[in-house]
Structure 1
């Protein structure tokens, strides 16, 4: 009762302090209700329910009856029942399902309280055991697999023909005859399997096929998990696709990576490693200068990513005199192992580290059509892996707000803008399949950096004979092809080549599928750039100027094309939203004179489902009259649109407390018949 008295005294003191302010006096008592434990379960199982029943009477109004479970001195579960009147109250409290807790005696504590904070406590011993159900169930997508005991204490397993990553969750049957079911999923925060979760457990085998999935109901250990060893040290699982290790690497020393069954087919960054022995693909020779590096094995792209480190948690950088261990690059049109893996300005996730090949000399090697766009790119160099803390400009600029260096080049292939962005010199393109080495020499310090660009041979790209109406498409890179055509509204196009290429998705703003390999033209007649991606089997298009000189813009009278830039709309899926990278603006064609129409499904942020191009929430973007900062006039919306989208602040945002229905079809129309300065937005659910 000591604790109760201390609480009561504190409350009385508070009441006295406030009484001089004419506030109502807080009435308390240290006498709790009269309480009798009618019954309570003497035993229970982890994850199961424990029943209790108690009678309570008091001269004061009752407040609550609490059933609390204690493991030693720690309260691990509680159930609260509101109790206004004298009487008998009953209920259950659910025992937690912890790992590695042995069977033993817990305490069930019943705590009755009245409105004056008087408390009465009754305690009963409670024998708690870990259940051993006759089976568990592994839930993988829409399929369930029965897991049987293996003979090892608390271990269950199922053997079946699984994909390489059978990522699902595990559930128990009813544990106590009262419907008590416990699920086991993955927690990235805790780095393992936890109870009361259905987050997919990232099980992964070396390959698809018949293998066993196991789980131990006591230790929460499961299998299979890929165990990667780099130089005989286990790598840490970062997420479902990435394993990493920070270690010291020595120039010209050979290291091994084991645990990847198909590692012979992985992309090895030629700036950092070369395979030491073709007969032993796991052996890698380190090429740059010695230092601390993070090695990341990425299963999504079958790629080994190397980044220079200052410490176990800090990325490397440069000093003003050019000393240091790293230069970084990010931008549009480049990425490793392929362009689409890094295309954009997200430094944290796609920034690439240059290799320090000599003191104060750094390089990155890119292949035109694979890791750099052969005809268009826009990227720049930084010395930390961060924005606004050190970037190379194309000229000295004392007015620049952030720390900066100066990068120049004598290359006739590359131009460096005053802001430091690298692009192709006018009239130049890279040779498809060409290997280009970009080297930055900072011997003179960051204010006198020099870039050289070397064409170091070629490598073949896989090519396919893709055709539209019998005309061959031009290959842009390993996966992408394009063809510029004059199209007539309503015209039928036939796709051929590449073993009769059958698209998985055709942009419905431009085309309507007629058959498996043909489509009808939807927009107004004009010149269009049709693109095909062999990897994703997506057919898309852009609107061109009538003379084919470039991408169409919106004329003053409202004809041409419009582009969405920002967040909320992506194409061909929500995951492809452009953000504020203008080069990735989503093109919407002219469906009728001055009318721009886009039809798509709603999908969650990051959805990769083809056709789910509208985000269900979190829109923040706007339409432009070009793939750049070509503003339209003030946007207004038609009646009813404001219930879904808000344009009152200039950008297009989702209306307050609105979420689109996932999987439902919506239609967006931008009416520019009044000219580019009077656009009107309509957005409806179809």
Structure 2
């Protein structure tokens, strides 16, 4: 063995000996002691939403560490409380019982675990029947007054019947505290959830079709409530997704008559609908669409779908093209400009042969002095058209580029549309923006036609 190998062997041996020596020094902690606990029986009349009190007597001949109380619904842990147990004696605390939507009455499990400083532990489980409280009333709270909501006789349903000051009644709902374990539960509107949620304090937008005396109802288990502004499209009820918008995913065919109950004199998007007297007809291609109704704007927004998802532009040119950016909006740019808010993106109508179109009116749905929007592959950030994938021969509208490729004033973010210097759209005139991707989505052609 040469000297270099000998040194390496000796070094490795020393390391191995050191590791073995250290390993010999590491010992598992020895558990000891005899932790015991006695749980007071105090788990009657427990309701969802309670702060459930408990009291446990603990002891050991070695120092104790912690007492943990965990509440389970089935096998799911829903609440936990940890108490530091410094010495033998009686300890008390509370564990929160979730309120929750649509949780049926049933038996929960409350598990107590006592651990001493050697990590020896003992556990004990208690079955806790939990029911929804039979509140004698709920409280409807508006900015100016509160109204009692009394049981209607239907399970968990309450109603306030009054001569309310308006057909529009923003309000939230709260429960009374029924016993020493109970707490006040508040129900309000959650924009993210798109509905009534426990713990939210934003007002619920109740709306009655008729003024005077009417009833506001609420189900304390299902969170169903009324009255709301209802919209029905072709005999299908639209879902309220927030205070301003209602939504329905529906299959439509070219020529289908559109019957909308709840909105009168609504703005008809000429890309998707045609109106003749009181009759409105769907004129886009057959397919599945998401219809979003905004009663404040009297507007039906139409978005193409593929299955249960919004459509996107596919490599073969099928799907959808979306518009995001400034100086454009439906039913008017003044009331509802898209801007760079992807939630407000406009879906172009597919007109066949891998072409997509949008109709706008100068001074109404598009600004006349300037435009600054672009075309995207989806309703959101991601794939988009630039000056390298989109061209136009229009002498009115240019496709922006980092360097000026046209007759002046066309330098801007690649793909953003603009009006050439000295050009503007005519007030009241109609313009058709068409994107043709039949030669490939990287060889798109924009045409702008004035009518």
Asked if TM exceeds 0.5, the reply is yes
Tell whether the 8 Å contact from 1:254 to 1:276 is kept in structure 2 after alignment: no
Where 1:334 maps in the other structure, the secondary structure is strand
Tell whether the 8 Å contact from 1:66 to 1:81 is kept in structure 2 after alignment: yes
Tell whether the 8 Å contact from 1:249 to 1:291 is kept in structure 2 after alignment: yes
| Correspondent of 2:221 among 206, 218, 222 | 218
Q: Which residue of 2 aligns with 1:302?
A: 298
Q: Does 1:354 align with 2:339?
A: no
Q: TM-score by structure 2 length?
A: 0.79
Q: 2 CA distance for matches of 1:109 and 1:383?
A: 53
TM-align CA RMSD: 3.4
| Correspondent of 2:113 among 111, 114, 119 | 111
Q: 1 CA distance for matches of 2:53 and 2:422?
A: 81
Counterparts in 2 of 1:19 and 1:103: CA distance versus 1, 3 Å: farther
Q: 1 CA distance for matches of 2:239 and 2:107?
A: 38
Q: 1 CA distance for matches of 2:204 and 2:180?
A: 31
| Correspondent of 1:408 among 393, 409, 418 | 393
Kindly provide the CA deviation profile for residues 519-562 of structure 1, in whole angstroms up to 9, marking residues without a partner as x. Answer: xxxxxxxxxxxxxxxxxxxxxxxxxxxxxxxxxxxxxxxxxxxx
Counterparts in 2 of 1:134-533, with a 5 A limit?
134-141=136-143, 143-160=145-162, 161=164, 166-178=169-181, 180-186=183-189, 192-195=195-198, 197-200=199-202, 202-205=204-207, 207=209, 209-210=211-212, 211-258=214-261, 260=262, 263-278=263-278, 284-317=280-313, 319=315, 323-340=317-334, 341-346=336-341, 348-385=342-379, 387=381, 389-391=383-385, 393=387, 397=388, 404-409=389-394, 411=395, 413-417=396-400, 418=405, 419-441=414-436, 447=443, 449-455=445-451
Kindly provide the CA deviation profile for residues 563-617 of structure 1, in whole angstroms up to 9, marking residues without a partner as x. Answer: xxxxxxxxxxxxxxxxxxxxxxxxxxxxxxxxxxxxxxxxxxxxxxxxxxxxxxx
Q: 1 CA distance for matches of 2:228 and 2:217?
A: 10
Q: 1 CA distance for matches of 2:375 and 2:190?
A: 36
Q: Which residue of 2 aligns with 1:52?
A: 54
**Displacement of 1:343 after TM fit?**
4.6
Relative contact order (alpha carbons < 8 A, sep ≥ 6): 1 or 2 greater? 2
**Displacement of 1:451 after TM fit?**
0.8
Tell whether the 8 Å contact from 1:45 to 1:176 is kept in structure 2 after alignment: no
Counterparts in 2 of 1:178 and 1:387: CA distance versus 1, 3 Å: closer
Q: 2 CA distance for matches of 1:101 and 1:386?
A: 36
Where 1:244 maps in the other structure, the secondary structure is strand
Q: 1 CA distance for matches of 2:230 and 2:24?
A: 68
Q: Which residue of 2 aligns with 1:12?
A: none
Q: Which residue of 1 aligns with 2:13?
A: none
- Alignment: residue pair count: 416
Kindly provide the CA deviation profile for residues 94-145 of structure 1, in whole angstroms up to 9, marking residues without a partner as x. Answer: 3332444555555554433222222234455544443222211123346433
Tell whether the 8 Å contact from 1:288 to 1:358 is kept in structure 2 after alignment: no
Q: 2 CA distance for matches of 1:378 and 1:127?
A: 62
Counterparts in 2 of 1:208 and 1:372: CA distance versus 1, 3 Å: farther
| Correspondent of 2:83 among 81, 103, 107 | 81
Counterparts in 2 of 1:434 and 1:214: CA distance versus 1, 3 Å: same
**Displacement of 1:83 after TM fit?**
0.9
Kindly provide the CA deviation profile for residues 317-368 of structure 1, in whole angstroms up to 9, marking residues without a partner as x. Answer: 2656xx524333333211111214235334x223322223343443322122
Q: 1 CA distance for matches of 2:177 and 2:191?
A: 27
Q: TM-score by structure 1 length?
A: 0.54
* Structure 1: 4+ residue segments shifted above 6 A: none
